[in-house]
Structure 1
Amino acid sequence: RSEQYSLLVDLSRDLGVQRTLQVDDSTLLGFYEACASGYPDNPYHNFVHALDVTVILHRLLRELGAGVYLTPLDVAVTVLAAVCHDVGHPGVNNLYHVHARTELAVRYKNESILENHSYQDSIKDEEEEKAQKRERDELIDSFKKAFFEIILATDMRHHFSLLDEVHGMVESFTLGPMGAAFRRRLCAILLHAADVSNPVRSWSECKEWSDAITTEFRWQGERERQEGLPVSPGMDGDSTTPGAQARSAIEFNEVVIRPYFTALAEFLPKAHIFLDDLNSNLRHWRAIAAS
């Protein structure tokens, strides 16, 4: 993983994370290594996914210009949230935990279960730092509040409310300078965009990640059957065949992805490039569905 760690540290340095948090490369590397150790070896929700999301976030902030609307601290917290947003993910979704009445579901009262779990796992080391550096309590508390809010926004149940926020962002921005709450919502919008960006990438990347999540869905469906639980939508064997995968991708892309990235491109015009890849990928999916 040395190359992956090096890439994360380099991307972070380019975005000023080390400078903003007043840490050196080795300290940040240690944090990233700790995060990586918390990712199970899932087909999809693994450390490579976290790295991939961080790479796309970097692109949104740098190439597409979103970073100009954020403070250095906003950028730093969003980068760390990208790396940590699926820490401890068990390879099954929130609905599984609700049906199985797992310890995590009870602990978080069925609310954004995995996102809460990832947040709590990510701040363990930070709690130790807080105990050692009381003079930084106010900054740490502010950082943790934003960190928590941004990670929880990656729960797909918030997708359409985030979409509504994107639609209103251009108008809101013209009213004056962005306040802290507004900037945090932008951070959440950007991280969510990076998290669901697989369909707006090159076909090879899109297909590879789609295959990975389809495998994870199939594993969850098999586990639910074995445990006598309701099989979650889209996770039974019939729903994970190539044709079903293609039809599911088409529906997801048209209903979920296209509206979100179309709205994002209204705020970040350079984001229109994502829609070009989306249209190209849809042609591939339609060909598979028709075969």
Structure 2
Amino acid sequence: MVNGLLCWIHLTGTLAAYLAAAVHDVQHKGLNNDFLIKSSDKLALLYNDISPMENHHLATTFTLLSQEPLNFLARTPRKMFDAIRKVVINMVLATDMRGHFSSLSLFKSKLHLTDEPNASIVSQRPSDSGGHTVAGGFHPNKAKQWTPVALKCADIGHLAAQPEVHRRWVLLLEEELFRQGDREAASGLPVSALMDRSKAGITKSQTGFLNIVALPLFKAMAKAFPAMEPLLAGVQVNYEAWRLEEEAEKAAEKAADKGTDPK
């Protein structure tokens, strides 16, 4: 699947995409941006409440790369380094869920995705006549639109994993969110939705997240790149499992209510 995507960008773009994927969560605090902003965390103050966690990932990455022993791009021509840096910044900033829907909408509009069965950009190879394409590659301007969305898919990639792997990730994420809720309560802040240990967590809201966020994202990428279809299928399998579980729980609750009905 990875090769099915990376064949559409030149080598510089491929390097940038791998680098962005490797560093997109470096030094993550296990807290979301809303908490950093509400608690006046130093990162929120430093980045003026604008994607503080993602900006920190990027700043940390390029600070490390500026150190001689770590700078594997030291001999890269300046123009190429600037291009790589721009792609990495664009991709990592896109993982801020606050801009999810606008990013997805832009992606679909820029790539002219339609509901036609065969309307994928893979079948729309650009002409070499303009002199702006890489041999066997994809137009750089369009690559800027889809590489951030590809990283967004990878960021929540556990949704496409085998059910047992996916469930383990969800439980770990739920615990991370509960820990943030604990900190919010200890700080006198309102506890965010799905982060209160005394109430239902994200394990009880997966169908909503999958239906509203994940499925449209993976469907758009699979429409653009058929190589993504196995991942979309994985997301659909996990969605169906959560949906059936939710229906069973509702049926059990309904039956229990009838059993206690004095009538």
TM range (shorter): 0.7 to 0.9
Closer/same/farther in 2, CA of residues 72 and 237 from structure 1, 3 Å limit: same
Which has the higher Rg, Structure 1 or Structure 2? 2
* Structure 1 runs of 4+ with >6 Å offset: none
Query: 2:184 is matched with which residue?
Result: 224
Matches within 5 A, 1:1-291: 59=1, 61-62=2-3, 65-129=4-68, 136-171=77-112, 174=124, 176=126, 177=133, 178-239=138-199, 241=200, 244-289=201-246, 290-291=248-249
**What is the deviation of 1:75?**
1.0
Unaligned runs of 5+ in 1: 1-58
Distance 1:133 1:286 in 2: 50
Supply the distance in 2 between the matched residues of 1:181 and 1:271 (Cα, whole angstroms): 21
TM-score of the aligned structures, taking structure 2 as reference length: 0.78
Measured against aligned partners, the alpha-carbon deviations of 1:157-181 in whole angstroms (never above 9, x if no partner) come to 2211222133235438549455433
Greater helix percent: which structure?
A: 1
How well do the aligned residues superpose, as a CA RMSD in angstroms?
2.3
CA contact (8 A) 2:37 2:44 kept: yes
Name the SS for the 2:67 alignment partner: helix
Structure 2: 5+ residue stretches without partners: 114-120, 127-132, 250-263
> SS of the residue aligned with 1:87?
coil
Secondary structure at the aligned position of 2:205 is classed as helix
SS in 1 for 2:88: helix
Q: Name the SS for the 1:250 alignment partner.
A: helix
Q: Tell me the amino acid that sits aligned with residue 230 of structure 1.
A: P
Equivalent position SS for 1:143? helix
Is this contact kept in 2: 1:95–1:232, CA < 8 A? no
Identical positions, percent: 27
Deviations 1:164-205 (A, max 9, x none): 133235438549455433212221111111112222221011
The answer as to whether partners of 1:99 and 1:230 remain within 8 angstroms in 2 is no
Number of corresponding residues: 226
Q: Normalising by structure 1, what TM-score?
A: 0.71
